[in-house]
Amino acid sequence: MNAQMDLAAEVLDSAAARPGAPSRSRADLRVIFQKVYADAVAASQRGVSVSPAAQLGQAADVAGRTAAPDRYFDGLGRLVARTPFQIGPGALATVRALRARGWRTAVISNTIGEPGATLRPILTAMGFDSLVEEFVFSDELPWTKPDPAIFLEALRRLGSDPAHAVHVGDGWPDIEGPKRAGMKAGILFTGLQTYGAQYQTLFLPPGWANPSAEYRIQTLAALPELVERILGPEGWA
């Protein structure tokens, strides 16, 4: 997250100032972008998507710069590519088990800090591309979780419907969104809830990391049997 802020400040600092715009230091530009980023996070909590490119454009407007969001987008791609992501314990085996039982699968992700386009190659390299049918990233759409529209969009792509679908995630939007969308259940996954302090402050208001949820799992290996218990064995999404 700090690297994202530094990158945005660098891109803004290297951009031409608009006529009449005040002189600003790189530190000033970083503060401007941080405010825009925080506003984008707040919007996401209401279900409104503000993409990284739009964030850079908004910051440029505030700063009086002519920065091109494409340069920020490309820089984010390089940051994501060198980030040492790890596969959650049991994640691949769990998705394989779901698919083997006839369930269709999609990923829905709130991509506020990094574009979905930069994450697809990572997920492909990890082996998820052959198991997950649809990747639904919020920066490519008008909505974020918990807006029901992003869940319904994933179901539309799968050719499924809310009555035959569940969603699993690690926070309040993953429980509230499916409820609003009319899905059968939202399942809270608590096995990977160690968050950095800055992430916790921005993305997890009080109660979001441990919301009320009828269904909870601590390991992903428990998911296939729980899905069948909730939906039956017919296999939809």
User: Which CATH number is 140's domain given?
Assistant: 3.40.50.1000
Cα angle 103, 85, 213; round to 5: 50
pTM: 0.92
Out of 31, 48, 81, pick the residue that ends a domain.
Answer: 81
- The answer to the question of residue 226 being in a domain is yes
Q: Which residues contact 114 (CB under 8 A, 6 or more apart)?
A: 4, 52, 76, 79, 80
Residues 142 and 55 in one domain: no
Whether the predicted pLDDT of 237 surpasses 80: no
Residues 107 and 69 in one domain: no
Residues 110 and 224 in one domain: yes
**CA nearest neighbour of 149 among 232, 64, 50, 49:** 49
Q: Which residues contact 44 (CB under 8 A, 6 or more apart)?
A: 50, 110, 112, 138, 144
Residues 72 and 96 in one domain: no
- The answer to the question of residue 237 being in a domain is no
Q: Which ranges of 23-182 does DSSP label H, i.e. alpha helix?
A: 26-45, 52-63, 69-81, 91-100, 116-126, 148-158, 172-181
Residues 39 and 68 in one domain: yes
Residues 73 and 95 in one domain: no
- The answer to the question of residue 159 being in a domain is yes
Q: b/e per residue, 17-56, with b = 16+ CB within 10 A?
A: eeeeeeebeeeebbebbbebbeebbeebbebebbbbbebb
Out of 81, 106, 133, pick the residue that ends a domain.
Answer: 81
Residues 164 and 54 in one domain: no
Q: Which sign does the torsion angle of CA 156, 160, 165, 168 carry?
A: negative
- The answer to the question of residue 125 being in a domain is yes
Pick from 16-20, 67-71, 111-115, 156-160: least confident: 67-71
Quote the domain boundaries for residue 27: 2-81
Residues 38 and 111 in one domain: no
Whether the predicted pLDDT of 236 surpasses 90: no
Out of 50, 81, 112, pick the residue that ends a domain.
Answer: 81
- The answer to the question of residue 155 being in a domain is yes
pLDDT at residue 199, as a whole number: 73
- The answer to the question of residue 211 being in a domain is yes
Structural domain tally of the chain? 2
- Cβ atoms of 115 and 137 within 8 Å: the answer is yes
181 token code pair: 């969308």
- The answer to the question of residue 216 being in a domain is yes
Residues 72 and 189 in one domain: no
- Cβ atoms of 7 and 72 within 8 Å: the answer is yes
Distance CA 32, CA 9 (A): 9
Q: pLDDT for 183-205, tens place per residue?
A: 999 999 999 877 777 777 777 77
Residues 17 and 107 in one domain: no
- The answer to the question of residue 86 being in a domain is no
Q: pLDDT for 130-150, tens place per residue?
A: 999 999 999 999 999 999 999
